[in-house]
Amino acid sequence: MKFYYFVILICFISKVATKLNYRVTKIECNSSTLTVTKHKCWLRAYNRRNPVVNVEVTKARETPDLLVTYQFFYKSGPNLPYQRNFVFEDVKFCKVIKELSSNSFIAQAVEHLKTLEINYNSICNGVGDMNFFNISISTGPFHNLFPEGYHWTNYKIRDEKDEHIFSLSFYAILTK
């Protein structure tokens, strides 16, 4: 019985010890004029430790075959250069949203995206305004996989007709 309480205590301590703080400090976005007529991205201070990401995009055409490249860069100190940790190139976004991916990282990312209450059909098939407001990146399911330090995440979106539809970068600091 004592061993059982000891295991519970260890689990509780490990949960408390792994409390993460993932704070986005800067966001950048740009787009091509071929597909996107207007774009804007900004951070809004939800609270000091958790600013939220906001993105507005106006599409001029449907984009059913979106390809997304996800790149993750890391550095351990503020004066060091970023090193690319991993990349997923040309993920078929519209297909992955509709079907289950065999890649567990992508499958978890899709499940997390679905909790954000974004209309994914409008991303692939819609034309006009698409607004993503008050998205908290600090609550993502993957932060415990990343080392403590400075992070730069970049998304590049394209298709066969436009090599640069939209790109979004955000910079963050992860402390444990």
For residues 106 and 112, what is the distance between their CA atoms, to the nearest angstrom?
10
143 assigned to some structural domain? yes
pLDDT band at 132 (very low <50, low <70, confident <90, very high): confident
Most confident of 110-114, 125-129, 142-146: 125-129
| Per-residue pLDDT at 2 exceeds 60 | no
Domain that holds residue 73: 40-175
- Its pTM stands at 0.77
Could you tell me how far CA 171 lies from the centroid of its own chain? Answer: 11
Whether residue 54 is contained in a domain is answered as yes
- Looking at 61-65, 102-106, 157-161, which range is the least confident one? 102-106
Nearest to 66 by CA among 41, 38, 94, 29: 94
User: pLDDT, tens digit, for every residue of 11-56?
Assistant: 444 444 456 677 888 999 999 999 999 999 998 876 666 788 888 8
Structure-model confidence comparison of residues 153 and 146, the more confident one: 153
Sign of CA dihedral 129, 125, 66, 71: positive
Number of domains in the chain: 1
Any domain includes 26: no
In a domain, 92, yes or no: yes
Does position 163 have pLDDT exceeding 70, yes or no? yes
> What is the reported pLDDT for 39?
92
Q: Does residue 66 belong to any structural domain of this protein? A: yes
- The token pair at 152 is 């730069």
**CA–CA separation, 159 vs 61, rounded Å?**
12
Residue 7 has pLDDT above 60, yes or no: no
Domain CATH code at residue 125 = 2.70.220
Residue 120 counted as domain residue:
yes
pLDDT at 6 exceeding the cut of 50: no
Mean of pLDDT over the chain:
79
Higher pLDDT residue, 22 or 91? 91
Other beta carbons within 10 angstroms of residue 81's beta carbon come to 6
Give the integer Cα–Cα distance in Å for 25 and 21: 12
Q: What is the pLDDT of residue 32?
A: 92
**Residue 139: what pLDDT?**
62
Is residue 21 assigned to a domain? Answer: no
Instruction: Please state, in angstroms and rounded to a whole number, the distance separating the CA atoms of residues 121 and 127.
Output: 10
